[in-house]
Amino acid sequence: MLPKIDISLASASPEMRALLMRRDELHRRRLAIQSDLEPVLERLRRGSHGEAPPAVSAGVMAALGDLAEKILPRRRNSTDEAIYADSRQELANLDEAIALLNFEIEKLVPPASVVIRERVREEHDRRAHALVHSLIEAGKRAADYQELADALNAERVWWAELEAVHFPPLGNPADRHSPLRSYFRELLKGRHLTPRDLPAEWR
C-alpha cells in the first residue's frame, strides 16, 4: 500500500497543477465534441453525398407516403455539414493546445521531480532497506539449505523423495558469482547496502 504521501506531479508546484488541470479540461472538451459528433456523422453517412433529390410532385410524395424517405435519395443536411466542419476545426485547435501544454509540462517535470523525491525519500529508503535485508536473510536461509543438501550428497544419500527446493534467482550464496552475490556487489556501489550488512564470507 502506498503511504499517505502526495507523490503526484500536480502537487509539486502551483504552475504544474494549473497546466495539468487545463490539459485535463481540454481532454474532457475533446471527448465531449467527439461524442456530440457521432450522431452528426451518422446522419451524414445516411445522406446521399450532396446529390439533389429528384423532382417529384406533391401528389407522388403523397402516394409514396412513408416509403418516400426510403425510395428518394436525401440531400445532406447543410447544418450538419457546418457542425462537422466547425467541430473538426475545434478538435484540431484542441490538439494543438494540448501539444503546447505537454511541452510546457515536460519542462516542469525535472524540478517537480526534485520536490517529490525529497517528499518520498524517507519512505523509499525504508522500503528499500526492508527489501535488501529480506534478500540477505533469504540468502542466509539458502546457504543453510545448501549446507544440508551438500552434506546429503556427500554421503550419497538418495533424498530425491524429499523434493529438493531450487531457487535460481538466488543461486548458491557460497558462490561469489551467484546471482545474489553479484546483486549485492552492485548494491554496495550505492547507499542501500554497506559491507557490514553482509555476512563476513560474502564481503
pLDDT digits (tens, 9 = 90+) for 132-171: 999 999 999 988 998 999 999 999 999 999 998 887 788 8
Domain membership flag for residue 2? no
> Which letter, b or e, does each residue of 38-65 get, where b requires 16 or more Cβ atoms within 10 Å of its Cβ?
eebeebbeebeeeeeeeeeeeeeeeeee
Whether the pLDDT of residue 50 is over 50: the answer is: no
The pLDDT confidence band at residue 51, using thresholds 50, 70 and 90, is very low
Domain total in the chain: 1
Residue 1 lies in a domain: no
pLDDT per residue over 15-46, tens digit each? 999 999 999 999 999 999 999 999 888 887 77
If phi over 0 gives left and psi between -120 and 50 gives alpha, with beta otherwise, what is residue 156?
left
Q: Residue 180 falls within a domain, yes or no?
A: yes
pLDDT at 68 over 60: no
Give the range of the structural domain holding residue 180, as residue numbers without chain letter.
9-202
Residue 92 lies in a domain: yes
For residue 165, being part of any structural domain is answered with yes
* Residue 3 belongs to a domain: no
